[in-house]
């Protein structure tokens, strides 16, 4: 396809989602790529603008990102993985005791999170190995 008077590559700015970043909504594009995006579901309403100048596109995208309102129906799920290494301090510690120490470490982390007001999916249980382990008598150790 020949383009007359148009740059081969232009800047496309699309509407952001509540978690979009600049690179998600402002990117270089060609006519062919734009056509593929429309086949993939991009609608005219999803496009904030098409720009020849990168700086103008980024400014428009930043304004669009700043104007994204969050409503009570918006939600953001974040899963935080906390790697723990539980190492025995003696040679006589049984594997079961080591596993119990790992569960206790997770209990303490969960209790601390609850103490400062965080909600989490570990409420009342922790999964260790092949199944869930119920959290009882949660002890808070703050170090």
Q: Please state whether 129 falls in left (phi above 0), alpha (psi between -120 and 50) or beta.
A: left
Q: What is the pLDDT of residues 80-138, one digit of tens each?
A: 565 666 666 677 767 777 777 777 777 777 777 778 877 665 555 544 444 444 444 44
pLDDT surpasses 60 at 63: yes
Q: Which structure tokens are listed for 124?
A: 């009342």
Percent of the chain with pLDDT strictly greater than 90: 34
How do beta strands 47-51 and 131-134 pair?
A: unpaired
């Amino acid at each position: 396809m020949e383009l007359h008077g148009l740059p081969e590559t232009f800047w496309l700015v699309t509407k952001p989602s509540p978690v979009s970043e600049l690179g998600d909504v402002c990117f270089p594009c060609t006519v062919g790529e734009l056509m593929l995006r429309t086949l993939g579901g991009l609608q005219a309403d999803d496009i904030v603008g098409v720009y020849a100048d990168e700086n103008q596109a980024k400014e428009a995208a930043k304004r669009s990102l700043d104007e994204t309102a969050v409503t009570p129906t918006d939600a953001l799920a974040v899963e935080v993985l906390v790697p723990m290494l539980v190492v025995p301090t003696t040679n006589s510690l049984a594997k079961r005791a080591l596993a119990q120490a790992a569960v206790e470490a997770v209990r303490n982390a969960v209790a601390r999170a609850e103490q400062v007001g965080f909600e989490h999916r570990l409420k009342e249980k922790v999964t260790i190995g092949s199944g869930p382990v119920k959290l009882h008598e949660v002890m808070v150790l703050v170090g």
